[in-house]
Amino acid sequence: MKVLLLSVKAGYGHHSTAKAIMEYFEKNGHECHMLDIFDYINHRLGNYIQDGYLVSTKYLPKAYGKAYGKLSQKDEPYDRHSLLTLFSRFVSGRLAKFVSDFDPDLMIGTHSYAGVCMSILADNAVTDCPMVGIVTDFTVHPFWESTFLDYYVIPDELLSYEMQKKGIAKKKLLPIGIPVREQFSRKTDKKEARKALGVKDIPTILIMMGSMGYGNIKNLLAEMDLNEHEFQVLCVCGSNKKIKNTVDEFEWTKNVYTYGFVDNVDIMMDASDLIITKPGGLTTSEALAKGLPMITMNPIPGHEDRNLNFLVNAGAAVMVNKNYPISDALNLMLGCSWRKELMVESVKRLGKPDAAKDLYEFACEKVSAKSTVI
């Protein structure tokens, strides 16, 4: 089976989801190719899209949130003569030859705009292979309403209503979860994970604020350091060296282990009892797959606001804000056993560690069925 994955550089999650899918399909002997739509058309354009996203979410979050909210209100497909549709037809036209030459047996889009382009390619008879869209957050992104794919993978069946409001039939929905890499689908014993990291075997809290280290981590740690409960902290600062250096220079009462960009987040999650994080789709999906309760904070206005609402309302996370500080959240999580038990149960219910496997098995069935009909 030949699988073509289409994505867009707008944050890390879309590409990571595509890579997780690729890894599973390739492990089972299938040929895969991943294509960033705008990067393929023009490398500079791809970088502009990525840089524009990072700048707007970090330095203009309110403006980004307002724009996202306005786009999210649309439930009807864009008019065929709208600027978005005309631009999408141009982009799809540039992709047509590559798609035709590759001749995929299956196409998967991990961004809603990729879904738009895939729909146009199918409409123009460039390919007639099955097409699957992946919703990579706990909300329905703008533009999914303008797609016409065969199936849509959603994080949970609780999003079915929202998808149907966008005009997507329930029979097309696959509530199997956001695919994560294989290391997040298996568990390492907590004691062994702590030993592998070289940390103590005591209650452990993992802090992750995105690859760029969003938020005032020093102030967060200062408030946590005053908490009376016993715990240690694994603090991942990502590519933000300034934050890491600031944290390293401070003398903490509790054991605080700081890290830059890491490739063993799965082991860190296995070693931890809970995670403090931004409510990004990727990190929260990995935490849910690992069965890890969450304290969420500092959402990027837009999709992360909606992720936060979903996770809190579904009972898998506690939200920190100006009116409910981290000290209160920690006392709730560490000092109230019944509340933590409820969260653990909710996380277990929402976690989809086998999403990549389930997608693979479904895809094999559909591609095989299509080949039989032909």
Query: pLDDT at position 6, please?
Result: 96
Are 103 and 127 in contact by the 8 Å Cβ rule? The answer is yes
**How many structural domains does the chain have?**
2
Report which DSSP code applies to 324.
B
Q: What is the CATH number of the domain that holds 33?
A: 3.40.50.2000
Positive or negative: CA dihedral 132, 3, 141, 345 = positive
Give me the count of residues in the chain: 374
The pLDDT-based confidence of 373 (bands split at 50, 70, 90) is very low
Q: What backbone torsions phi and psi does residue 204 show, to the nearest 5 degrees?
A: -130, 135
Residue 48 has pLDDT above 80, yes or no: no
Report how far residue 360's alpha carbon sits from residue 215's, in angstroms, rounded to the nearest whole number: 37
115 shares its domain with 29: yes
106 shares its domain with 219: no
Report how far residue 194's alpha carbon sits from residue 276's, in angstroms, rounded to the nearest whole number: 18
Residue 374 has pLDDT above 50, yes or no: no
341 shares its domain with 361: no
Range of the domain at 285: 187-350
Report CA-CA distances (Å) from 246 to 207, 222, 252.
15, 12, 12
99 shares its domain with 211: no
43 shares its domain with 125: yes
195 shares its domain with 325: yes
pTM of the model: 0.92
> Helical H runs in the chain?
13-27, 37-41, 43-59, 61-72, 83-102, 112-123, 160-165, 190-197, 217-225, 241-249, 265-271, 281-289, 303-313, 326-335, 337-350, 355-373
198 shares its domain with 262: yes
The pLDDT-based confidence of 152 (bands split at 50, 70, 90) is very high
Report how far residue 244's alpha carbon sits from residue 131's, in angstroms, rounded to the nearest whole number: 43
307 shares its domain with 206: yes
* Structure confidence by residue, pLDDT tens digits, 133-147: 999 999 999 999 999
Are 319 and 297 in contact by the 8 Å Cβ rule? The answer is yes
109 shares its domain with 226: no
80 shares its domain with 222: no
Report CA-CA distances (Å) from 283 to 17, 184, 266, 330.
11, 11, 10, 20
